[in-house]
Amino acid sequence: MGIDQNPLGGYLKDRRARLDPAALGFPLSRRRTPGLRREEVAQRANVSATWYTWLEQGRGGAPSSDVLERIARALMLTAVEREHLFLLGLGRPPQVRYQPSGGISPRLQGVLDAFECTPAFLRTSTWDVVAWNRPASLVLGDFDVLAPEERNVLRRMFLDPAARAAMPNWESDARFMVGAFRADITRSGATQNGEALIEELSSASPEFAALWRDNDVRTAYGEHPKQRLHPVLGLIDLDYSAFAVDGRPDLFLVVMRAATDEVDRKIRTLFEKSSFV
């Protein structure tokens, strides 16, 4: 089988063939093929039937992003299908549409719990911690006793004296997190969602306000060395790693792995002792 010379047209044809005309208010009579007709897709997308036909046939030229958005809605595409449509039509992904976290599935919580003695948590693009494992509460702070609005990494860093005291390298950590936060909300389309937090922190913390004015941008991905001053374990070295959660652009998995065997033994001992409390 040869390479498809018109992948966009083939994809559009396949997607419209999967839709139920009756469910969308179109008559079922005189249909020789399944799905919607081209003119019905054009009607739903508010574009010319002739132009849409040319698009499927590879004769319409490059569509605009606005037209592709309308076609994506007309064909009821999922987020990943919409992205594929834009990659075929324009050679780039669509503009990000931020969707706040809709809850954590048992499978995602299971991933966190699989890190038996390694602190791990899930955070949003606005750095709200929405799920965690027991080692995270033991090493990074007891998230269970915090109100939901207090489980924000930046709010704790700039407004919680106890959290700040646990960071020996607070200045460099703060600069890193503010820069990564700026990149995260821009990349995920969550700028408007983060406005209230930015205003709150800028008003309450001159240090945050100064860092925000710097317009610094950092990446949260990869490994970054961190130190924490723990009330029981003392000064410990950790490796911070963040990963995007596939299919959930609103979520990031953060793992704080022990940087040395000694720190790993300390965390394991703390974890084992807490299991008997």
**144 three-class SS:** helix
The tokens describing 223, both together, are 């490994």
- Residues of the chain with pLDDT > 70, as a percent, come to 94
Placement of tokens 């065997």 in the chain? 261
**Distances, alpha carbon 222 to alpha carbons 59, 79, 256, in Å:** 44, 26, 12
The pLDDT value recorded for residue 2 is 47
Tens of pLDDT along 53-70? 999 998 877 888 899 999
Going from the N-terminus, what domains does the chain have, and what CATH number goes with each?
Answer: 7-90 (1.10.260.40), 106-274 (3.30.450.180)
| Predicted model pTM | 0.70
The pLDDT value recorded for residue 102 is 61
